[in-house]
Homo-oligomer: A and B are copies of this chain.
Amino acid sequence: MTGLVIIGGSDAGISAALRAREVDPSSGVTAVIADAFPNYSICGLPFYLSGEVPDWHALAHRSQAEIEEQGITLRLDTRAIGIDPERRTVRVVDRHGTEDDLAYDRLVIGTGAEPIRPPITGINLPGVYALHTMEDSFAVHDAITERSPRRAIIVGGGYIGLEMADALTTRGLGVTLIELLPTVMSTADAEIGEVLRVELERHGVHVTTGATVARIEQEAEGLVVYGEPEVRVAADLVLVVVGVRAVTELARAAGVETGERGAIRVTRTMETNVPDIYAAGDCVETWHRILERPTYLPLGTTAHKQGRVAGENAVGGHCIFQGSLGTQVVKVFDLAVAGTGLRDRTADGFTPLTVETVVPDHKAYYPGAHDLRIRVTGDRITGRLLGAQIVGYWKAEVAKRIDTYATALYNGMRVAEINDLDLSYTPPLGSPWDAVQVAAEAWVRARGAVADTASEPVGRW
């Protein structure tokens, strides 16, 4: 029997707890959770705020009772304030201020990430919010429902900023989105960012890119955001969502080393440098399957997988995290934008070539066809698939098409081999060569080596 303590009750922590109990039902598992909301879907917050999910309780992946039924002890509203690796104890404090030591055989740290707070004067003013925890979400929800704001400013055009632009527009607010970089969604190519800009503007969002925000002031007309060049926008509500950073203070104080982007350094078995301390989720660096090195990719999907590996290994398993491809999808109004793997700008160590193809999602003769814009990135030298990006109508199977590329990437396929895949076809839902294959073929042609085809009996790369 292993005594396992887990710090954190979001995706990584609860996944670790559940997996540990599944693999070793004799293990004792206690999760220390800073708030009262174990296993909530943080990714669902924008949809609660948009009104599409009326009851926030629905955002729980599992209820507290469901987790406890698995034999997991939950210490809610309890913060971990210190780890003693020598004595193998975690110092915790509950909401009454009472301190206590929890003994562990193995510890899993899943302290997650917190919003980056950029150096903006006035960022602490009432009416300026971050969006990461359930509490943040309640605060924004109260502001929307009780104070009937008409105008919102979103600082940050990443995927949460984009989802919130959609959500607040859906709520009836006039939205201005301010992004530092030249295009929104900087995790995708600029061409995709421009498609998103058009979609945002089509729905009435004012989009300002290439702009820095310097200060926020409370003036007669509301909160006024000032920035460069020539930014002056007034609103009733400001959201600052410019990314997150790993929460590592507790770990570092216990001698745990950090690495990429300040996240906790872990092995692919999710072990830290300190014996018997594992870590997983948004607080750790993530092995990238194509780059074959650690990166910082805080994503819910990855947190679930890493938590599972940590939980299994913490009770004696021998699991290896198979790595992330950074696969993502986001819905913005009527579009879905998805990506997996590398782009020209991120393909360090490769010789990337990216080719864009516009192709209908299904046979154009069947009603309701929508063009997909697909960007395939491959290595010019070896022909290996490195990544793909798709933007198109959100119901045009964009998300699961990126999954075909993600599965190909996982297996180290060459771009040309995509055309050998036996994919499904019926005119309402595809083409004899699916859109993902048409785009792969366009890449092969652009590479300029017709003879180097998928079916050629050569080694992979």
Q: Is the C-beta of A90 less than 8 angstroms from some C-beta in chain B?
A: no
For the complex, is A328 an interface residue (Cβ under 8 Å from B)? yes
Find A317's partner among B53, B364, B434, B451 (CB 8 Å cutoff): B451
Contacts of A340 in B (CB 8 A): 422, 424
Which of B289, B327, B422 touches A406 (beta carbons < 8 Å)?
B422
CA distance in complex: A58, B366 (Å): 9
A287 to chain B, nearest CB (A): 11
Q: Which residue of B lies closest to A289 (CB)?
A: B422
Residues of B within 8 A of A411 (CB): 407-408, 411, 413
Q: Is the CB of B423 within 8 A of A406?
A: yes
Select the stretch in A246-254, A259-267, A330-338 that faces chain B: A330-338
Most buried by B among A44, A304, A400, A417: A400
A426-B450 in contact given A52-B366, A53-B365, A404-B404 (Cβ < 8 Å): no
Rounded to whole Å, the gap between the CB of A140 and the closest CB of chain B is 17
Could you say which residues of chain B place their CB within 8 Å of the CB of A320? 455-457
A184-206 interface bits toward B, Cβ cutoff 8 Å, 1 = contact, 0 = none: 00000000000000000000000
Q: Is the CB of A366 within 8 A of B47?
A: yes
Q: Is A403 interfacial (CB 8 A cutoff)?
A: yes
Q: Is A174 an interface residue (CB 8 A)?
A: no
Measured between beta carbons, the chain B residues less than 8 angstroms from A420 are 305, 322, 410
Interface flags, A285-318, vs B, CB<8A=1, else 0: 0000100000000011111110011001000011
Which residue of chain B is the closest to A24 with respect to CB atoms?
B450
Interface string of A373-412 (1 = CB under 8 A from B): 0000000000000000000001101111111101110110
Given contact pairs A366-B44, A401-B400, A406-B422, A394 touches B428 in the complex (Cβ within 8 A): yes
The distance in angstroms between the C-alpha atoms of A424 and B338, with both chains bound, is 7
Q: Is the CB of B336 within 8 A of A434?
A: no
Inter-subunit contact B300/A425 (CB<8 Å):
yes
Question: Is A422 in contact with B453, judged by CB distance below 8 angstroms?
Answer: no
CB-nearest residue of chain B to A420:
B322
Residues on B with beta carbons closer than 8 Å to the beta carbon of A366: 44, 47, 52-53
The CA of A303 and the CA of B433, in the complex, are separated in Å by 11
A4 within 8 Å of B (CB atoms): no
Whether B44 lies near A319 (C-beta < 8 A) is no
Question: In this complex, what residue of B is CB-closest to A411?
Answer: B411
Q: Check B331–A423 contact: CB distance below 8 A.
A: no
User: Does A216 belong to the interface (CB within 8 Å)?
Assistant: no
The interface on chain A, measured as residues whose beta carbon lies within 8 A of the other chain's beta carbons, has a size of: 86
- Known A47-B365, A423-B327; judge A399-B430 contact (CB<8 A): yes
Complex alpha-carbon distance, A450 and B366, angstroms: 45
Tell me whether A424 and B453 are in contact (CB under 8 A): no
Taken residue by residue from 49 to 62, chain A's Cβ proximity to chain B (1 for < 8 Å, 0 otherwise) reads as 00011000011010
Name the B residues within 8 Å of A450 (CB-CB): 22-23
**Mask of A34-76 contacts with B, CB within 8 angstroms, 1/0:** 0000000101100100001100001101000000000000000
- Chain B residues whose CB sits within 8 angstroms of the CB of A274 once the complex forms: none
Q: Does A432 contact B (CB under 8 A)?
A: yes
When distances are taken between beta carbons in the complex, the residues of chain B under 8 Å from A422 are 289, 301-302, 305, 323-327, 340, 406, 410
Q: Does A363 contact B (CB under 8 A)?
A: yes
| Chain B residues, Cβ within 8 Å of A328 | 424-426
Contact with A426, one of B22, B302, B329 (Cβ below 8 angstroms): B329
Kindly list chain B residues whose C-beta atoms are within 8 Å of the C-beta of A303.
Answer: 432
When C-beta atoms are compared, the residue in chain B nearest to A22 turns out to be B450
B-side contacts of A426, CB under 8 Å: 43, 328-331, 336, 399
Known A-B contacts: A312-B455, A407-B421. Give 5 more (CB < 8 A): A321-B455, A325-B422, A340-B424, A400-B401, A410-B422
